Amino acid sequence: MNNTHIIELLSGELLEENRELTLAELCRACGLPADRVVELVEEGVVDPTGQDPTRWRFSAISIRRVHSARRLERDLGVNAAGAALALDLLEELERLRARLQRLED
């Protein structure tokens, strides 16, 4: 079994973690209009490569971050900037737990 991570889109399409998505593809996968994704980029929820929205490329992990940010906004009333901070802290916690687990093994 290889270590390639797979992300499942709402449509059922499977993507490898290292696949890049255009703005339009991310919008379709998350069910959001482009202006909402642009706002999430501006607040740091997702970080595309590329100079402008027509050239942006997002990692497949961006789908998970967008969905998580939307849940934080809906369930906790957090704004996009707060969601970005919460996601960054949760990912750091995940990294630290994984590091701790490796040290304990």
Flag whether pLDDT at 10 surpasses 70: no
Contact status, residue 52 vs residue 38, Cβ threshold 8 Å? no
Contact status, residue 58 vs residue 20, Cβ threshold 8 Å? yes
Q: What is the pTM of this model?
A: 0.78
Flag whether pLDDT at 4 surpasses 60: no
Query: pLDDT tens-digit profile of 61-83?
Result: 999 999 999 999 999 999 999 99
Identify the structural domains of the chain with CATH numbers, from first to last. 20-104 (1.10.1660.10)
* DSSP type of residue 50: S
